[in-house]
C-alpha cells in the first residue's frame, strides 16, 4: 500500500507523563494500515518525524505517543503545533513491522514510547482472539517512563494468555518490578543456551537497544530475525559481519 499524505486535525492531547503526550489525530477518511505500522509528521518540506500508530485501523481517528524532550530542537515545534484544533501534515502507512502469521507464542520488547507500536500489535492479537502466550517486556529509565501500567494490568485481567514484565534501569526505593536493562530482564527468563530457540516477536526502541536484545536472544538460540523490528530497515547491520 502506497503512503498517502493528509491534513490531520489535532483532536486531543493528554499527558502520559512529564514528557510524553497521548495525541489523537482526526484524518479526512478512515485510516488504512496494518497494526505495527507508523505515520510520519511533517516538520517542514524536507523533515518528517516517524511515530507508531498506537491503535487499530479502520477509524478516522488515530492515536500516537509523542515524547517531547525539553530543550530539544523540536520542543518549540511541538509547543506550537500540538494544539487542539490545529493541523498537521501526515503521511501513512509506513513500515514493514506488522502483525501476521498463525497463532503462536509471541514476545514483545519495547523501550519507552516504543510501547506505542506494541500496543497496536497486542490489540490486534486480542482482536484476533489469540490463544498462544503473549509476553511483553517494557523498559524505561525511570518508573514514570512506563506510563501505561494500568492498561497492562487490565489486559492481564482480561486475557489469560497475556503476561508482562516492567523493567526500570534506574529505580527508586519504591520500585517493585525488575531492575536494569531489558537484556537483564530477559536474562532472568532465558537462561539456557537453547532457551530462546522458539522465540518470535517484535522489538521497538533505539537501534542499540534492539540489537542488544537481539544479540542476547540469539546467544540463547533464537534464530536470526526472530524479532521483527523497524530498526532492521532504517538502521540495518550485517549479521554475517
Residue 101, phi-psi category: left (phi > 0), alpha (psi -120 to 50), beta (remainder)? left
Q: What is the pLDDT of residue 16?
A: 97
Q: What is the pLDDT of residue 62?
A: 98
- The CA-CA-CA angle for residues 127, 149, 61, to 5°, reads 50
**Is residue 34 helix, strand or coil?**
coil
**In the listed set 67, 94, 121, which residue is the last one of a domain according to the structure?**
94
Q: Are 211 and 237 in contact (CB under 8 A)?
A: yes
Q: What is the pLDDT of residue 240?
A: 55
Q: What is the pLDDT of residue 239?
A: 61
Q: Are 94 and 37 in contact (CB under 8 A)?
A: yes
pLDDT at residue 241 is higher than 90: no
220 band by pLDDT with thresholds 50, 70 and 90 = very high
Is residue 120 located within the same domain as residue 52?
no
Q: What is the pLDDT of residue 238?
A: 75
Torsion of CA 66, 37, 213, 65, to 10 degrees: 10
Is residue 138 located within the same domain as residue 227?
yes
Give pairs for 82-85: CB < 8 Å, separation 24+. 82/10, 82/13, 82/21, 82/23, 83/10, 83/13, 84/10, 84/11, 84/12, 84/13, 85/9, 85/10
If we measure between CA atoms, which residue out of 65, 84, 75, 68 comes closest to residue 19?
A: 68
Sign of the torsion angle spanned by Cα atoms 42, 76, 55, 35: positive
pLDDT tens for each residue of 81-114: 999 999 999 999 999 999 888 999 999 999 999 9
Query: What total number of domains does the chain contain?
Result: 2
Q: Are 189 and 196 in contact (CB under 8 A)?
A: no
pLDDT tens for each residue of 32-72: 999 999 999 999 999 999 999 999 999 999 999 999 999 99
The domain of 142 spans 106-234
Is residue 128 located within the same domain as residue 52?
no
- The CATH number of residue 221's host domain is 3.40.50.80
Q: What is the pLDDT of residue 197?
A: 97
pLDDT at residue 27 is higher than 70: yes
**In the listed set 33, 66, 94, which residue is the last one of a domain according to the structure?**
94
**In the listed set 94, 121, 150, which residue is the last one of a domain according to the structure?**
94
pLDDT averaged over every residue in the chain: 96
In a domain, 100, yes or no: no
Pairing of strands 106-111, 201-204: parallel
Is residue 31 located within the same domain as residue 68?
yes
pLDDT tens for each residue of 75-84: 999 999 999 9
Amino acid at each position: 500500500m502506497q503512503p498517502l499524505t493528509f491534513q490531520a486535525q489535532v483532536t486531543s492531547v493528554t499527558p502520559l507523563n512529564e514528557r510524553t503526550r497521548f495525541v489523537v489525530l482526526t484524518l479526512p477518511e478512515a485510516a488504512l494500515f496494518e497494526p505495527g505500522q507508523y505515520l510520519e509528521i511533517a516538520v517542514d518540506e524536507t523533515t518528517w518525524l516517524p511515530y507508531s500508530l498506537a491503535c487499530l485501523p479502520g477509524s478516522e481517528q488515530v492515536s500516537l505517543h509523542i515524547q517531547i524532550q525539553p530543550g530539544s530542537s523540536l520542543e518549540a515545534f511541538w509547543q506550537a503545533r500540538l494544539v487542539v484544533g490545529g493541523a498537521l501534515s501526515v503521511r501513512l502507512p509506513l513500515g514493514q513491522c506488522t502483525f501476521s502469521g498463525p497463532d503462536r507464542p509471541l514476545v514483545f520488547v519495547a523501550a519507552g514510547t516504543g510501547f506505542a507500536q506494541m500496543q497496536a500489535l497486542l490489540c490486534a492479537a486480542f482482536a484476533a482472539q489469540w490463544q498462544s502466550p503473549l509476553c511483553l517486556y517494557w523498559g524505561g529509565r525511570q518508573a514514570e517512563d512506563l506510563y501505561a501500567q494500568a492498561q497492562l494490568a487490565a489486559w492481564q485481567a482480561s486475557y489469560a494468555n497475556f503476561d508482562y514484565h516492567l523493567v526500570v534501569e534506574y529505580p527508586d526505593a519504591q520500585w517493585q518490578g525488575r531492575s536494569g536493562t531489558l537484556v537483564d530482564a530477559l536474562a532472568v527468563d532465558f537462561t539456557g543456551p537453547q532457551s530462546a530457540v522458539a522465540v518470535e516477536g517484535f522489538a521497538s526502541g533505539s537501534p542499540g537497544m534492539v540489537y542488544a536484545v537481539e544479540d542476547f536472544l540469539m546467544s540463547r538460540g533464537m534464530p536470526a530475525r526472530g524479532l521483527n523490528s523497524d530498526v532492521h530497515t532504517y538502521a540495518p547491520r550485517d549479521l554475517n559481519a
